[in-house]
């Protein structure tokens, strides 16, 4: 099967591509991607849940995020590293920060009220980004200005993945410089926490526990640095795009907006259904371990690339009844937008609470909105608006 991730308006992407995938079969070969496409819910869960047969090593994410982070570690050491942040990212810990998140949402939303009330269309992407980046800055105790290097790297990686660039080219050099800036910032923050801990301080940010864990239970300096690099980057773009997808859904569905306005307890199931229906990470990659394996009747050779089509799996009719219908009352299977199994997203509680807090304040401050313009960028692999101008409806 031929598949590309180019976004072309008017082709109903990514949904038309996902439908073709499901028709082709649960596991099919793509010549142009030179890898296997896994589109069934059961198949995606099987791959994500079995690190003895499938690995992230050798995939683009390994090159982008660093080789020694928990995301790429398939040994028990993964759980050791994950445990460092477990309490800080628990439901209880994040819920305790709800008032802080709501105040931050008001800070970024209230200034645009006059523009909306005057009939102006406002680009909400900078608003989402300001909201997300401020929470990251507070959580990691990194200045908002210093986080610009993470934004630069995130934007550059999304626009032109480093692995697609010719070695030694000007674009590749820009990538290398951007990544080096991030690595230098992480190193500086780690050194700062190390000195403060040595002086008897006990900083409460998310950098400190990972720095304090270095030298314990097998955690090395490189592991700590790569995990911090991962965690900060992972908290940025996907949350912003999830917010964008939720706000677009509310703007384009007046009945949904009215229901959620009337019953704010529906915000959480609504944002989760948006993640199923408009999955942000439409695909993630794995590689088959030697000597190969079987999946859904197909033989996959060792070293083969595997594209896990999360968006397709989240619309698998064998798991979700009437999967192409947006349904606030869904029960049963959990969507795979945050992965599954060994490497299930560490920051899921943070991201969900951020989105719920932001949407609650948005509903409080503004009446129904309409989409004036929505720019989806050039790729549907990471699905969410890159530009989103909204105006008050009516």
DSSP letters, 300-312, are: EETT-EEEEEHHH
Question: pLDDT 10s digit of each residue in the chain, 394 long?
Answer: 889 999 999 999 999 999 999 999 999 999 999 999 999 999 999 999 999 999 988 887 776 666 788 888 888 999 999 999 999 999 999 999 999 999 999 999 999 999 999 999 999 999 999 999 999 999 999 988 888 887 776 766 655 444 455 667 776 777 778 878 888 999 999 999 999 999 999 999 999 999 999 999 999 999 999 999 888 888 888 999 999 999 999 999 999 999 999 999 999 999 999 999 999 999 999 999 999 999 999 999 999 999 999 999 999 999 999 999 999 999 888 999 999 988 889 999 999 999 999 999 999 999 999 999 999 999 999 999 999 999 999 7
Domains and CATH numbers, the chain: 15-392 (1.10.630.10)
At residue 164, the pLDDT reads 52
User: Quick one: tokens of 37?
Assistant: 């496409």
| CA 20 vs CA 24, 26, 132, 267: distances in Å | 6, 11, 35, 31
Strand partners, 123: 389
Rounded-to-integer distance, Cα 267 and Cα 98, Å: 14
Q: What is the pLDDT of residue 71?
A: 83
Please give the angle made by the CA atoms of 165, 167 and 172, to the nearest 5 degrees: 55
Half-sphere exposure of 265 (CA within 13 A, CB side): 1
Determine the pLDDT at residue 163: 46
- DSSP characters for 106-136? HHHHGGGHHHHHTT--EE-HHHHHHHHHHHH
pLDDT of residue 162: 44
* Residue 317: predicted pLDDT: 94
Instruction: Say how far apart CA 26 and CA 45 lie, in whole Å.
Output: 12
Cα–Cα separations (whole angstroms), residue 144 to 138, 189, 213: 9, 13, 25
- In the prediction, which pLDDT does 201 show? 96
Longest dimension (CA), the chain: 64
For the entire predicted model, the pTM comes to 0.93
Residue 4 main-chain phi, psi, to 5 deg: -135, 165
CA dihedral 259, 261, 264, 270 (to 10 degrees): 50
């Amino acid at each position: 099967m031929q598949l590309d991730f180019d976004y072309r308006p008017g082709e109903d992407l990514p949904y038309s591509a996902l439908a073709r995938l499901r028709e082709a079969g649960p596991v099919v070969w793509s010549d142009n991607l030179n890898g296997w496409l896994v589109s069934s819910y059961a198949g995606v869960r099987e791959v994500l849940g079995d690190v003895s047969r499938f690995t992230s090593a050798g995939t683009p994410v390994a090159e982008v995020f660093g080789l020694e982070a928990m995301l790429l570690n398939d040994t028990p050491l993964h759980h050791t590293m994950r445990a460092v942040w477990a309490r800080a990212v628990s439901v209880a810990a994040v819920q305790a920060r709800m008032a802080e998140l709501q105040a931050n949402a008001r800070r970024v939303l209230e200034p645009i009220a006059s523009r909306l009330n005057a009939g102006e269309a406002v680009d909400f992407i900078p608003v989402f980004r300001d909201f997300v980046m401020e929470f990251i800055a507070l959580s990691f105790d990194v200045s908002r200005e210093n986080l610009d290097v993470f934004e630069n790297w995130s934007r550059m990686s999304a626009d032109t993945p480093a692995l697609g660039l010719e070695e030694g080219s000007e674009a590749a050099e820009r990538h290398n410089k951007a990544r080096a800036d991030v690595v230098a910032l992480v190193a500086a923050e780690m050194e700062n926490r190390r000195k403060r801990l040595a002086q008897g301080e006990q900083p409460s940010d998310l950098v400190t526990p990972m720095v304090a864990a270095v030298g314990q239970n097998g955690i090395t300096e490189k592991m700590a640095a790569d995990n911090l690099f991962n965690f900060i980057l992972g908290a940025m773009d996907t949350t912003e795009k999830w917010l964008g997808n939720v706000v677009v859904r509310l703007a384009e569905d007046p009945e949904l907006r009215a229901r959620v306005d009337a019953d704010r307890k529906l915000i959480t199931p609504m944002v989760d259904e948006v993640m199923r229906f408009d999955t942000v990470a439409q695909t993630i990659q794995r590689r088959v371990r030697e000597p190969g394996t079987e999946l859904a009747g197909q033989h996959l050779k060792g070293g083969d690339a595997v594209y896990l089509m999360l968006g397709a799996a989240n619309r698998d009719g064998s798991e979700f009844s009437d999967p192409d219908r947006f349904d606030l009352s869904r029960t049963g299977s959990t969507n795979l937008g945050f992965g599954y199994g060994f490497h299930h997203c560490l920051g899921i509680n943070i991201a969900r609470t951020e989105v719920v807090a932001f949407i609650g304040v948005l509903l409080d401050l503004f009446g129904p909105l309409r989409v004036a313009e929505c720019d989806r960028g050039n790729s549907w692999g990471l699905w969410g608006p890159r530009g989103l101008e909204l105006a008050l409806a009516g």
